[in-house]
Chain A
Amino acid sequence: MNWRPGAPQARVHRARLNAALRSFLTARGLLEVETPILSRGAPLDPGVESWRAVAPDGTAGYLQTSPEYPMKRLLADGAGDIFQLARVFRGEEQGPRHNPEFSMLEWYRLGYDHRRLMDEVLELVQTVAGADSAWIQPRGPVRHVAYADLFQAALGLDPLSCSVGECMDVAQRAGLNIVGQLDRDGWLDALMALVLAADFAPGKLTMVFDYPESQAVLARPCAHAPGYASRFELYWGDLELANGFHELNDPAIFAARCDQDSERRRRNGQAIPAVDGFFAMAMRSGLPDSAGVALGVDRLLMCLLGETDIARVIDFPWGRA
């Protein structure tokens, strides 16, 4: 047992990074906001598990997995462009790239679509990386690639129509053997995380956009590409840094996706958390046209400092917290 904080060097850089992130966004007119860490409801997204918190009197709530729901309630109430540096919690996520508690920068832009927000995310990362001469900057030009083109070019797979069997064949050829049953989206996740991203150029930024609608989460459907949603992800090398949407604001599609997510959770044997009724009401009252993104601050710090273990940038990582 060691009581001492484990990241004395990164601590100073973290303070500078937080300041640089705040200064970038406030200079552009975004308002910094705060929302509750503890809520009565949690998202149904089967890919994200919430920590449950229980008070002595039995009252139960959930620690936020992102500040998305309350921030969108602010948007629906007319708060305008907003950002937040939040602490978020994800169940059972621990490894060299995961700590169950981490820092997330989330921001929303009124009137933006995901393409325009992608440009701003890249500007933020490039500007902030130049804020301290000790930091590593992303190398060379940014690669932009549509999710479908990535799968087609590298693996010859069409993400919308490929069968589980085809995914398995492709995975096997790539040397990937998986124990356990996966559906098509599970296989696409495996190929993305373990095969495709592993080949992204080290030190360079890759922007992947237009994800299959089955992985849309809260992104609106693409107007120009049926079956795809207006979602993007930014990678630095093979490390996933940010996830953004042209925000879904159609309450009917939201309700349908909630049903699908509950059904997937039931099939997977996952717990179904209490639903955030306020968020659904805000959706129905009208969410303004906007794009939003969440960026993992600890991971950005890892990239800037050239660290490969997230515990090296957190003073009290889980296990020592």
Chain B
Amino acid sequence: MPSYSTSEFKSGLKILLDGDPQTIVENEFVKPGKGQAFSRVRVRNLRTGRVLEKTFKSGESVEAADVMDTEMQYLYTDGEFWHFMVPDTFEQYAMGQVALGDSAQWLKEQDVCTVTLWNGEPLSVTPPNFVELKIVQCDPGLRGDTAQGGTKPATLETGAVVKVPLFVEEGETVKVDTRSGEYVSRV
């Protein structure tokens, strides 16, 4: 793999650090007027999600991480693995619960997600920003309460629980923002 020098650091760059692929979240040039220069970076571990601060002496190099984002269709889960397919090539990938993390609760069969591959292995999955999911369980809302702007929990077909307005009923389909986990509208 190629490597990057500190002068090439910028946010979004994928590097290999402590054996893990990490992405630079923030990079700041620090230098006393008459002294040694440094790059102070915040990196997010793409495997664990942990964010960490690290300082590089200017001029140091670090190996690039072979990380690639690929659009894939979510196929199904067999309970242990979640299966994805690259639509163009029909190439299939399986991911376990750990790599999937919280994303699992937004995955609906046929939906297209972004799967991050590291050295050809799935590392994480980013669901679409907005998903449309059916409510499988929620308490009936009381008519008189609609003006109060209150909310109630609703369980969606994928297992996710989101807060919905009181007028929304079981069996309806709702649009949810997966980045915040918030209800957007009825569909």
Contact = CB atoms under 8 A, between A and B. Distances in A.
24 contacts: A48-B33, A93-B31, A93-B37, A95-B28, A95-B29, A96-B28, A97-B30, A98-B31, A176-B55, A177-B54, A177-B55, A179-B57, A179-B60, A182-B36, A186-B36, A186-B57, A189-B36, A193-B31, A194-B40, A215-B34, A233-B33, A240-B32, A268-B59, A296-B33
B30 A180 contact: no
B4 interface: no
Contacts of A48: 33-34
A95 to B, nearest CB: 3
B57 to A, nearest CB: 3
A178 B33 contact: no
B36 A179 contact: no
B62 interface: yes
B19 interface: no
A217 interface: yes
A249 to B, nearest CB: 19
Interface in A179-230: 179-182, 185-186, 189-190, 192-194, 215, 217
Contacts of A176: 55
B7 interface: yes
Given A92-B7, A94-B29, A180 B57 contact: yes
A243 B60 contact: no
Interface string A59-103: 000000000000000000000000000000000111111100000
Interface of B: 7, 28-38, 40, 53-60, 62
Nearest to B62: A179
A185 B59 CA distance: 17
Interface in A45-61: 45, 47-48
Residue among B34, B40, B59 with the highest chain A CB neighbour number at 10 A = B34
Interface residues of A, number: 33
B35 A181 contact: no
Nearest to B55: A178
Interface of A: 45, 47-48, 92-98, 175-182, 185-186, 189-190, 192-194, 215, 217, 233, 240, 243, 268-269, 296
Contact of A190 (B28, B29, B33, B55): B55
Contacts of A175: 53
A269 B57 CA distance: 14
Nearest to B58: A92
B56 A189 contact: no
Contact of A178 (B38, B59, B62): B38
A182 B55 CA distance: 12
Contacts of B57: 178-182, 186
Contacts of A269: 59
A228 to B, nearest CB: 15
Given A92-B7, A97-B30, A215-B35, 8 more contacts: A45-B34, A92-B37, A96-B28, A178-B38, A179-B60, A193-B35, A194-B30, A194-B38
A190 B39 CA distance: 11
Nearest to B52: A177
A315 B53 CA distance: 32
CB-CB nearest 5 A-B residue pairs: A180-B57, A95-B29, A189-B35, A189-B36, A180-B60
Contacts of B7: 92
Contact of B32 (A177, A179, A193, A296): A193
B36 A47 contact: yes
**Which one of B7, B30, B54, B62 has the greatest number of beta carbons of chain A within 10 Å?**
B30
Interface centre among B30, B35, B62 (most CB of A within 10 A): B35
Pick from B7, B40, B57, B58 the residue with the most CB of A within 10 Å.
B57
A45 B36 CA distance: 11
B54 A179 contact: yes
Nearest to B38: A190
Contacts of A180: 56-57, 59-60
Contacts of A233: 33
A175 B53 CA distance: 9
B31 A178 contact: no
B34 A243 contact: yes
A178 B57 CA distance: 7
A48 B34 CA distance: 6
B37 A185 contact: no
Contacts of B54: 177, 179
A303 B52 CA distance: 29
Nearest to B35: A189
Contacts of B32: 47, 189, 192-193, 240
A65 B60 CA distance: 24
A185 B35 contact: yes
A217 B55 contact: no
